[in-house]
Structure 1
Amino acid sequence: MSIGSTSAESGRNGYLDLDGDGERSPYPAGFGLDFRRIWVLLRRNALIIAGIVTVAAIIGLIATLLMQPTYIAEASVQIEQETDRVLESQSVEPVAAYQDADRFLQTQTDILRSRAMSRRVAQALNLLDANSFFEAMGTEPPEEIPGMTLQQAKRDAVVDLLLENLLISLPQDSRLVTIGFRSPNPRLAARIANTYATEFIRSNLERKFESSSYARDFLSKQLAETKARLEQSEREVNAYARQAGLIRTEDDVEGGSGQQSVTSASLVQLNAAANDAIAARIAAEQKWRSVERTPALSIPDVLANQAIQGLLQQRSERTAALQQELERHRESHPTVLQLRAQIGEVNSQIDTLAAGIRSSIYNQYQSALLRERSLIAEVGQSKGARLAEQDRGVRFNILAREADTNRTLYDGLLQRFKEVSAAAGISSNNISIVDEAEQPTEPDSPKLPLNLALSILIGLAAALGIVFIREQLDDAIRAPEDVETKLSATTLGIIPAVDERPIDQLSDPRSPVSEAYNALRTALLYSTSEGLPASMFVTSSQASEGKSTTSLAIAVGLAKLGKKVVLIDTDLRRPAMHILLGLPNGLGLSDLLTSTQSLSAALRPTSHENLSFVSSGPVPPSPTELLGGMRFPEIVAELEADFDAVVIDGPPVLGLADAPIVAGIAAGTVFVVEANRGHRGGTKSAMRRLRSARASILGVVLTKFDNRKAGSDYGNYGNDYYSYGHHQD
């Protein structure tokens, strides 16, 4: 087996077999990105890419110029959770906790995006029933929808249009909300943005007023009922005192008691004191029971303590400082440890003070309990002497306490009613306008640089996709690397394309064509393990690819090395070698195949030393039968015995059987492919036919190669490839 075929076989390792013919595909198995090949493809298709990108940029430019410009006007409002307190308690609405600030702010932005807010804006600007708004927004008014009047459809369309072009922005860690509106009319955009801000504030005030109005109505009803009960209880007290004959002084009336004598007065005083003690004990007990199992920092008295508030403030400051230190230092850092110790000390002080306050509440309860028991004991001791008077005073005291209770409830409701009424008249608001929207002077869209950039990117992506598809569909043999990847064959030589006939340049030993064929000759000398094959068949897949010129150049090149060479023209259909050599096509191969004439009679000397020639002879009626007979192998064997090299110029493969027959007889086959003309499918099919005839393909000669058009790495050599030394600087 020849070196060429061996290298071709070994080159299949690690490649995908896509054709199912045992030959490697153009792409290695498990291949990755080949940046060199990508660069070659981009350079080869540079004009296509540039054209597509240019067209995309022009389309983007035209589309941008045809777009209607839109403007965005922005107003900003500040939203606070609480307003300035003019009164001690001026709002009946619950105040959101500061830990819930994000949800509160998100709720406010959702209110801004609500349909109700857009409907308020539309009503404020008289947009619901006018078609001018649709004209200003560059849209058509809606048509009547089944089940809905035209007016309803128009109002819904106005609200939808407002919501579609409303832009609400709430930056993180900020209470400043930006209200933007997009419109083709800059003046309208500014008006709508400002109206959204003012209507948002007005809506907030209305909600506050409505909630306080409901509270006032409720308090007014409760106040009237409590007042009636108070008047009734006071009338009952007076009626009972008159009926029982109890005479009360002014102080007695205010104290809710009345006596007939000093004894009864003393009993009443003791009884009143006992009642007060009971009430005080009940209040103290209730207070103690309410805080007995309550965490210290949840007790109102603890939280109201100035010292506790100061310590809580210190703990918050030290905790904040500790968090800052932890962001910069580790747990073991002295500053972190010191802050933790300080926080622990503050917590200890808070716990101590809180425990003291809890203990004082308990002591108050015990004191009230002792006082109650003491007064009850004194009343019990005086009970026998003053029992009659006490019986008359019990009913009076009950009625008096009921009147006092009603009076206390009435006073509380009256005070709260006054506060709510006063708060309703104060227009305090937690939302304020920071910046009003101004009429924009420049459109926000379309943005020409952005659109052009996107158009260029889209064009580039489309161009790359087209180039990729084009390259996948393009199986032309353009460059030497295509011979290796697409044909799975060895490149023996690269013959450059020239303006004149290549055969004319063979006479100049320093011409690019001569240098290229010299390189081919050298490759053939080492193409097999034994060196130069005894006989070489030169063919191609189709006509006019340069096989005859290549045959002559190989023969002449070997003859110049001093080898005895014979050149045979086996193209019995369209012979041309005798024309290249300037010899007559007399007695030739067809005569030798159809007669018993000796081989020496057909051998002709040429103008080249050591080179003999056997012409094709007359064109026979059936070249395939002549070449397939027993005579032709004998002629080749006889020439191999008499000459150092036998060069056979054969017909192209095409769809005929001539070339495979000759290739099976010759020791080696040189396959000629014209650059940019030969295609992978047809060329591989031709080479497969030769291999099926047991031909040993030495390699491929790429003819008419123009490095400027190939787009391959060979183009890096420029136009002076194979021209080193032709001129001096």
Structure 2
Amino acid sequence: MNADERSVGARGRNDLVIEEGGAMRSDDGGGLLDLAYIRSILWRERFVLVACIAVALVLGVIATLLTTPEYRAYASIQIEETGGQIVEGQDIDPEVRPNDILVFMATLTQVIESQSMALAVVDELQLDQDQSFIGDSLPERYTTLPEDQRAALRRKIAAEKLSDNVMPEPVDRTRVMRIGYKSEDQALTARVANAYVESLLLSELQRGSEVNSYAREILLEQIEQVRESLQEAESEAIEYARNNGIVGQPISSSRSASSGGDAGGGSEPVGTAQTISGTNLVTVNETYAAARIRRIEAEQRWLAVRDMAPMQVPEVQSNPVVQGLIAQKSEIERRLNELRERYREDYPEVAQLRAQLTSIDRNIASIANDVKSVIRDEYRIAQRQENGLLEELNSVSDSAIEEQSRRVQFNILNRDVTALQDQLDSLLNRFNQISSAANIDSSRLSSLDPAQVPNGAYSPNLFANLLIALLLGTGLGVGLTIMRQIFDDRVRSPRDVETKLGVPLLGSIPFTEGEPLQSVSEPHSHVAEAYSALRVAIDFTLGRKSHPVLQVTSSSPSEGKSITSIALASDYARAGRRVLLVDTDLRKPSLGKSLRTPDDDSERGFMNVLSKDAPIENEMLVNTIENLDVLPLGPLPPNPVQLLSSDLLPKFIERYRHSYDIIILDTAPVIGLADSPIVSHHVDATLFVVEANRAHYGQAKAAMRRLLDVGANVIGGVLTKYRPLEAGDSYSYSYSYYAYGTPTALEQKANARK
């Protein structure tokens, strides 16, 4: 990329910044604020923050000393798990359930803060008669009222004062409520807190008594109504059973059996009268089911042995008689085999044994056939029994179905009777419980700890006031810091040069204490290393431009452009390049003052070469470093703009361009002057110098716009006097590499300065 392309790119970026109004943004598109930015603000505004916090703490101490002490005493009550509520459908002693405790605590808080509770405490302690408590709260215009009206007014004022200072505080995760009272009277706090507890417990007892009395009256009315309804329902059910021939156990017996029949496991639900038809149907159905099971078992046995030989039937093989005959046959066969070895078949004893074997085989076959016949007969009997029971079941079912239509209405009546009986029993039990507990304390509240006279004041609290003052002071300091930052548009970090001005950053020069030229002359100092990095960046930016002419300028005076020009020229010279450094600031030159030795002639300089065509060798400063020629300004010209607008400067540049490797022109600031824009026409590149923490964004942007509007090739910017902490960076991180390779020498110089 050549210099012209880089210039176009710089102009494009600058135009973008101008269109966006100069909004701060990071290179990666981040937002306005980041940790480094916040850290830089806090560091820059540390004195404002410390001053605001210190003033707030002092005011907090003063306010604590001037505040009248206040005392506070607490009494506590406990909320029991059961109470005396009587609600239809609930138990006699319902719990204050865990999911309702918060609502109950909130309700209790409102009760404690109520006007009626405050009036009860006023009456108990007679605070309306205590002039020290009421004070001068009674207006003078009410002094002419009758005594009873003034007494009511004093009572109201005392109650309002109590309501304003009572402090009910539920204790988290417990059933405990603390009741506190604050006052300037140390003893009064405990008296009022205990009086609130007593009044609250008394009101709870009165409420419980009223609830019990009201509940008994309501329950008596309900009992009479249910009794009348039960009598009518029983009469109607009995009359319906008589008219429809439904015979079964009485309704009360059926209900009793059902309620206590769980142990037996055979009772019907409450309200059902079991009839004879129903009982027969159940019995026949159970008998038929058992007969069906027996038939299936017998059928399966017969199917299993039907196609078997009689001797293969398991029942035959396990028959004891058959087993005995088989054993007898085996013995005869053994004897027969022994005789056959000695005698012939016609031997009488052999013939006898053969006859016995034939008889035993016939007996075994007869028994096997009989066993198989028994299995077949059992199956046929079971089948006939099943068929007979099925006919009986069908007959009983028809009878039960006919009766069922009549029993539907009876069951409805029966269930109504049972429901009314249950309701009457429940009401009677409830009434008995209320009557038994009528004289028992049914309060849900009980006193836990009485209030004690406080030993010391709780207000003012020095620690709390200082903490509040610290927070307020910090908030005020942060607010002032934000306001200052809103109206502060100074360039502080290297990132600001690129994002705000739209030009590449070629280098950042750290701030140094003392004489800047001394730091520049030290080859391994932070400043010298930074300028060396700047020189390398300029070389890369200029590329292969031969014998370039570089202009160094800034938006306003004293931003470090002259020091930058000297440092760059010196670094180029040390690198073996022939350098011409020219002071072209025709308004307030500084190169001569910075580099001139006491014995130099102050009249020598650039103006003599430019206007009088004097030899340049005679106008240069003496005793400069090797390869560096410095041409100071010389006498101030009367008409700088006309002089620079002439062709003298272009001719000067063309005459000496090829005599030097690089020419550096230290020009005047841009703002308010036309010198630098004019010079930028005749140079190859312009370096824009911005002083950190001093150059304003608007001013620097206006200067950059003037240069770009006249076609200047602004190759980049350099940030001078850079303070990392004020920009949000770590100083050690930013500059530790500048001293790379020479820590010992730098430490010695630092120690020498100390």
Identify whether the pair has TM-score above 0.5, normalized to the shorter chain. Answer: yes
- C-alpha distance in 2, partners of 1:677/1:630? 35
**SS state of the match for residue 650, structure 2?**
helix
1:462 to partner: Cα distance = 3.2
**SS state of the match for residue 526, structure 1?**
helix
Match of 2:19 in 1: 20
1:243-642 correspondence to structure 2 within 5 Å: 284-285=234-235, 308=259, 355-356=269-270, 359=273, 426=439, 428-431=441-444, 433-439=446-452, 441=454, 447-530=461-544, 534-579=548-593, 580-582=595-597, 583-586=600-603, 588-594=605-611, 597=613, 604=620, 606-607=622-623, 608-642=625-659
**SS state of the match for residue 542, structure 2?**
coil
1:186 to partner: Cα distance = 4.9
Structure 2 contact 79–446 (Cα < 8 Å) conserved? yes
- C-alpha distance in 2, partners of 1:487/1:63? 50
1:169 to partner: Cα distance = 5.3
Residues 594 and 309 (structure 1), Cα distance of their counterparts in 2 relative to 1, 3 Å cut? farther
Residues 720 and 709 (structure 1), Cα distance of their counterparts in 2 relative to 1, 3 Å cut? farther
- Deviation per CA, 1:30-85: give whole Å up to 9, x if none: 627522322333334344334433443444454455363331312314457556xx
- C-alpha distance in 1, partners of 2:461/2:490? 44
- C-alpha distance in 2, partners of 1:717/1:303? 99
- C-alpha distance in 1, partners of 2:48/2:119? 54
1:125 to partner: Cα distance = 1.1
Structure 1 contact 476–677 (Cα < 8 Å) conserved? yes
Residues 172 and 473 (structure 1), Cα distance of their counterparts in 2 relative to 1, 3 Å cut? closer
Greater CA deviation, 71-80 or 204-213? 204-213
Q: 2:670 aligns with which of 641, 653, 656?
A: 653
1:196 to partner: Cα distance = 2.6
Match of 1:178 in 2: 177
Unaligned runs of 5+ in 2: 219-228, 241-250, 276-431, 748-754
Residues 434 and 707 (structure 1), Cα distance of their counterparts in 2 relative to 1, 3 Å cut? closer
Match of 2:196 in 1: 196
Residues 1:668 and 2:678 aligned together: no
- C-alpha distance in 2, partners of 1:356/1:500? 108
Residues 540 and 4 (structure 1), Cα distance of their counterparts in 2 relative to 1, 3 Å cut? farther
Percent identical among aligned pairs is 28
- Deviation per CA, 1:82-123: give whole Å up to 9, x if none: 56xxxxxxx999896466856798397355554323222211
Residues 1:34 and 2:34 aligned together: yes
Residues 1:72 and 2:73 aligned together: yes
Residues 195 and 602 (structure 1), Cα distance of their counterparts in 2 relative to 1, 3 Å cut? same
1:488 to partner: Cα distance = 3.6
Structure 2 contact 554–669 (Cα < 8 Å) conserved? yes
**SS state of the match for residue 531, structure 2?**
helix
Unaligned runs of 5+ in 1: 84-90, 219-278, 291-299, 312-345, 362-418
Letter of the structure 2 residue corresponding to residue 53 of structure 1: I
Residues 705 and 211 (structure 1), Cα distance of their counterparts in 2 relative to 1, 3 Å cut? closer
Structure-2-length-normalised TM-score: 0.61
Structure 1 contact 566–647 (Cα < 8 Å) conserved? yes
Structure 1 contact 166–179 (Cα < 8 Å) conserved? no
**SS state of the match for residue 680, structure 2?**
helix
- C-alpha distance in 2, partners of 1:353/1:309? 9
Residues 124 and 53 (structure 1), Cα distance of their counterparts in 2 relative to 1, 3 Å cut? same
- C-alpha distance in 2, partners of 1:459/1:12? 45
Residues 1:143 and 2:142 aligned together: no
Structure 1 contact 491–701 (Cα < 8 Å) conserved? yes
- C-alpha distance in 2, partners of 1:602/1:309? 135
Residues 470 and 304 (structure 1), Cα distance of their counterparts in 2 relative to 1, 3 Å cut? farther
Letter of the structure 2 residue corresponding to residue 501 of structure 1: E
Q: 1:106 aligns with which of 93, 98, 104?
A: 104
Structure 1 contact 604–613 (Cα < 8 Å) conserved? yes
Match of 1:157 in 2: 157
Residues 539 and 203 (structure 1), Cα distance of their counterparts in 2 relative to 1, 3 Å cut? closer
1:697 to partner: Cα distance = 1.9
Letter of the structure 1 residue corresponding to residue 581 of structure 2: L
Residues 423 and 486 (structure 1), Cα distance of their counterparts in 2 relative to 1, 3 Å cut? same
- C-alpha distance in 2, partners of 1:310/1:197? 53
CA RMSD between the two structures: 5.1
Letter of the structure 1 residue corresponding to residue 139 of structure 2: E
1:623 to partner: Cα distance = 0.9
**SS state of the match for residue 128, structure 1?**
helix
- Deviation per CA, 1:578-629: give whole Å up to 9, x if none: 442444355654345546x476577647433333344434322211011011
Residues 68 and 307 (structure 1), Cα distance of their counterparts in 2 relative to 1, 3 Å cut? farther
Match of 1:691 in 2: 708
Structure having the higher Rg: 2
- C-alpha distance in 1, partners of 2:712/2:554? 14
1:542 to partner: Cα distance = 2.6
1:718 to partner: Cα distance = 6.7
Structure 2 contact 10–503 (Cα < 8 Å) conserved? no
1:285 to partner: Cα distance = 1.1
- Deviation per CA, 1:660-690: give whole Å up to 9, x if none: 1112221111223334332222222222222
- Deviation per CA, 1:610-665: give whole Å up to 9, x if none: 33344434322211011011232222122223322111122222311111111222
Residues 714 and 288 (structure 1), Cα distance of their counterparts in 2 relative to 1, 3 Å cut? farther
Match of 1:229 in 2: none
- Deviation per CA, 1:380-406: give whole Å up to 9, x if none: xxxxxxxxxxxxxxxxxxxxxxxxxxx
